[in-house]
Every structure is written in C-alpha cells, then in structure tokens.
Amino acid sequence: MSINVRKQLGNFIGEFVEYDDNNNLGLWRNFMRTKVRVDVRNPLKRWKKIRRMGGE
C-alpha cells in the first residue's frame, strides 16, 4: 500500500500519526500497522470501502 492510502485510512479512523515500516518485511502481510490518534468520546467508525485502480 502506498503512503498516501495509509494516511487516508488513518485519517478516516482518527488522526494519522505514523506507519510501522518494519511491518513490510515479512512474507505474510495480511495487515498494516498504523498509529492513529482517536478521540475515545466519539464512536468508532465501522466501514470503509477501498477500491483498487481498475475498479476492484
């Protein structure tokens, strides 16, 4: 994933702080580790659709 997508997802959840670059070293990358600042007084967001280039 590009840094732009990481920042957009982090800002959707709360406020993007940083991304763990060491997360990309392994073979199994089913998740990305991102640090986000979240205001716990607000409810968490549940859904975010992500589209790849080409419309998938």
- The pLDDT tens digits of the residues spanning 1-56 come to 677 888 888 888 899 999 877 766 666 666 778 899 999 998 888 887 777 777 65
Q: Which residues contact 26 (CB under 8 A, 6 or more apart)?
A: none
pLDDT for the residue numbered 20? 79
What is the pTM assigned to this prediction? 0.61
pLDDT for the residue numbered 15? 92
pLDDT for the residue numbered 5? 83
B/e letters for 26-54, b = 16+ CB within 10 Å, e = fewer, are: eeeeeeeebeeeeeeeeeeeeeeeeeeee
pLDDT for the residue numbered 26? 61
Q: Which residues contact 14 (CB under 8 A, 6 or more apart)?
A: 36, 37, 38, 39
pLDDT for the residue numbered 29? 64
